Structure 1
Amino acid sequence: MSDAIRLTSVAINCPDASALAAFYADITAGTVTVDGEHWATVEGPGGRIDFQTVPGHTPPTWPGTAHMHLDFLVDDLAATEARVLAAGATKYAFQPNDDHCLVFADPAGHPFCLSTWS
């Protein structure tokens, strides 16, 4: 028996797991593999993201109360920005590194970044 620890996914609390999973499947070219009332899963080229419906969910603020966020590596910031905005993301006004990284909110208000730096 081993004491190894492996990350299998990141779980995100939100007001509607199904809706947020659909958003992330769209922007990552992933597939929704679980779509339940309280839980949804997206399997994508970069890994797995899980979503849990939490009644009364309050989104974090940026900059401010966000304790974590997702980073996505992209080739073309401008083209990918247009795609995530069309999918329902919102671009934050505060952009601390906009030469290589853009910060957005997903439809549930969680910050995520598109970056050309790995």
Structure 2
Amino acid sequence: MTDYPQLQLTVLDTTDVRGLAEFYRKLLGFQYRPGDEPPTDGSPDDLEWLVLTDAHGARQLAFQAVPVLPRVTWPDASGVAQQLHLDLTVPDRAALEHQRERALGLGAEQLLDRTDDPEEPLYVFADPAGHPFCVFVA
């Protein structure tokens, strides 16, 4: 018995389970949990839940279908709060710029450019479902 529960993974709500999973699969280099792969036989792709794993099979992110998802307005505090975001790190500024281009190419929206911060240069993005995430030099 342990004294604390163990965090298994982070779950993101979305109106497009496969679309958001594909975004993060490509962005982070993850793979589908066996059985969650896209159908190859033309059958409907109607999963309401799926999981991405790392190269060792450890669960990392899950995606859950919801009928409606209000888009976050953060960093504008007058609207819908972010409630949760992912922090992703890169080793240097060149990698930061490379990952910015990748994220935008995959469909992210840039929300904030704080690359002029000498202590912690970063970009804030929204994924295709509107969830914010940061990429910064650490």
Q: TM-score, normalised by structure 2?
A: 0.75
Equivalent residue number for residue 30 of structure 1: 30
Under a length normalisation based on structure 1, what TM-score does the superposition of the two structures give? 0.87
Give the alignment of 1:5-44 within 5 angstroms: 5-33=5-33, 34=36, 37-44=47-54
Residues 1-118 of structure 1 mapped to structure 2, 5 A cutoff? 1-33=1-33, 34=36, 37-44=47-54, 48-63=60-75, 64=77, 65-75=81-91, 76-92=95-111, 94-95=112-113, 97-98=114-115, 99=117, 100-117=121-138
Counterpart-to-counterpart distance in 1, 2:67 and 2:110: 25
- 1:61 positional shift: 1.6
- Counterpart AA for 1:67: Q
* Partner SS state of residue 113, structure 1: strand
The one-letter code sitting in structure 1 at the alignment partner of 2:72 is P
Aligned length: 115
Distance 1:74 1:16 in 2: 28
Q: In 1, are the aligned partners of 2:51 and 2:59 still within 8 Å (CA)?
A: no
Unaligned runs of 5+ in 2: 38-45
- Rg larger in 1 or in 2? 2
% same residue: 32
